[in-house]
């Protein structure tokens, strides 16, 4: 995990509620044994190790003895920092993101900050890049926060399992819990909304060769949006064509380059519409189409997902799916504070989304 930055949103004493300061954190690489290694060595599940550590569910005497021996042999200490800080509040919560490059994150941060401020807590925001992740580095976690909000794939399943086993409060955003443990998660409905969006292009605008800009391969939002795209094609008797799938990564620059490279190839397959994956990628797509003399929407409909703040102000205004991103942030933060008080929220909170018709698809909305 490579740390590209950590930002602190700090609440000062009540007489100075609007003051902020930045924070720099230096961390050292750790080679500590993980809970997954303990489970493998003892021949049990991660959940069993977690129950043994937290003493919250009885397990057999044989398994207890085996785990004690393995943990001693491996010199495994389940996040001693988390246990040490359990009675020493930091009055801060952490938010770990995959990036902060686009406009999607502004409402998410806004929703979280409203709740942290209401509880007189500070918010630490850190960014990790999973392509070069070094699991030894934890910019935010038990050493400097009382709990952690984890966005998408910014932490591996192994790290989440280890933190959960230590009793450290966690809430996941736009991703589900690892199968071995139960961590509360807050996300939005992707599949049905995407199918409805793509079917709008098929049924209303009679498009059959719809190019899809694929999101990050490890992210669940990307997976479910591609699933919705494929379902729309199948439901309308249109075959899936891998040549109509380009890399977009939910990033305008990446989507722009992918589309430019695609259009520059004189042998590219024909297409008659674009589902950009998200609104940020849609900007890159529209710019590339314009560079190649393709007018949106007269020549080529383009649609996105998320309905970020700029989407209504593009030329043309973007047809998209409205996702309650600010509400996701607010609910996730509320659930984290519930965990602080030993109140356990729903395992999965799935928020509804809504199709927003504007002019980029060819409608006169």
Sheet containing strand 185-188, strands side by side = 2-9, 122-129, 92-97, 148-151, 170-173, 185-188, 348-351
Nearest C-alpha neighbor of 33 from the set 115, 135, 111, 127: 135
Bridge pairing between strands 122-129 and 2-9 = antiparallel
- Whether 200 and 119 map to the same domain: the answer is no
Query: Which is nearest to 355 in space by CA: 346, 363, 343?
Result: 363
Whether residue 115 is found in the same domain as residue 151: yes
CATH code where residue 179 lies: 3.40.50.2300
- Angle between helices 61-74 and 46-54 in degrees, nearest 10: 90
Looking at the fold, whether 64 and 121 belong to one and the same domain comes out as yes
- 248 and 288 assigned to the same domain: yes
Q: Say yes or no: 144 and 235 in one domain.
A: no
Are 53 and 154 in a shared domain?
yes
Show the domain range for 164.
2-187+328-351
Are 219 and 160 in a shared domain? no
Sign of CA dihedral 6, 9, 12, 16: positive
Same domain, 16 and 154: yes
Give the number of domains in the chain.
2
Per-residue pLDDT of the chain (365 residues; tens, 9 = 90+): 444 445 555 443 333 233 333 333 333 333 568 888 888 899 998 888 877 776 656 788 888 888 888 888 888 876 544 444 444 788 999 999 988 888 899 999 999 999 999 999 999 999 976 554 455 567 899 989 999 999 999 999 999 999 999 899 999 999 999 999 999 999 999 999 999 999 999 999 999 999 999 999 989 999 999 999 999 999 999 999 999 999 999 999 999 999 999 999 999 999 999 999 999 999 999 999 999 999 999 999 999 999 999 999 999 999 999 999 999 999 999 999 999 999 989 999 999 999 999 999 999 97
Q: Where are the alpha helices (DSSP H) in 269-324?
A: 279-291
- Strands 122-129 vs 92-97: parallel, antiparallel or unpaired: parallel
Residues 130 and 1 sit within 8 Å (Cβ to Cβ): yes
> Does residue 182 sit in the same domain as residue 260?
no
> Quick one: 74 and 211 in the same domain?
no
Residue 264 token pair = 């520059």
Q: Are residues 172 and 245 in the same domain?
A: no
Residue 270: DSSP 8-state: P
Structure confidence at residue 252 (pLDDT): 96
165 and 314 belong to one structural domain: no
Q: Residue 99 has what pLDDT?
A: 87
**Rounded to an integer, what distance in angstroms lies between the CA atom of residue 132 and that of residue 129?**
6
């Amino acid at each position: 995990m490579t740390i590209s930055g950590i930002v602190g949103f700090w609440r000062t004493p009540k007489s100075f509620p609007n003051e902020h300061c930045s924070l720099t954190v230096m961390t050292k690489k750790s080679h500590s044994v993980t809970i997954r290694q303990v489970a493998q060595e003892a021949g049990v599940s991660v959940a069993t190790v977690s129950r043994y550590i937290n003493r919250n569910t009885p397990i057999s005497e044989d398994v207890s003895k085996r785990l004690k021996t393995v943990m001693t042999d491996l010199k495994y200490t389940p996040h001693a920092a988390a246990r040490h800080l359990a009675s020493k509040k930091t009055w801060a919560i952490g938010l770990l993101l995959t990036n902060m490059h686009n406009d999607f994150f502004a409402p998410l941060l806004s929703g979280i900050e409203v709740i942290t401020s209401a509880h007189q807590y500070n918010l630490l925001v850190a960014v990790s890049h999973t392509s070069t992740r070094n699991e030894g580095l934890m910019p935010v976690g038990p050493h400097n926060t009382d709990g952690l909000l984890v966005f998408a794939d910014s932490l591996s399943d192994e790290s989440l399992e280890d933190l959960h086993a230590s009793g450290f409060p966690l809430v996941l955003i736009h991703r589900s819990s690892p199968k071995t443990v139960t961590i509360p998660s807050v996300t939005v409905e992707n599949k049905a909304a995407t199918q409805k969006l793509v079917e709008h292009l098929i049924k209303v605008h009679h498009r059959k060769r719809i190019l899809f800009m694929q999101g990050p391969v490890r992210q669940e939002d990307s997976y479910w949006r591609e699933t919705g795209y494929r379902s729309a094609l199948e439901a309308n008797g249109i075959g899936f064509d891998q040549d109509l799938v380009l890399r977009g990564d939910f990033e305008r620059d990446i989507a722009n380059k992918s589309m430019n490279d695609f259009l520059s190839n004189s042998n590219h397959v024909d297409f008659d519409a674009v589902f950009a994956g998200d609104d940020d990628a849609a900007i890159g797509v529209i710019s590339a189409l314009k560079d190649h003399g393709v007018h949106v929407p007269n020549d080529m409909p383009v649609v996105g997902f998320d309905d970020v703040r700029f989407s209504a102000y593009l030329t043309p205004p973007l047809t998209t799916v409205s996702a309650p991103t600010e509400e996701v942030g607010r609910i996730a933060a509320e659930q984290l504070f519930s965990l602080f008080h030993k109140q356990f929220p729903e395992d999965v909170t799935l928020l509804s989304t809504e199709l927003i018709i504007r002019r980029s698809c060819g409608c006169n909305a």
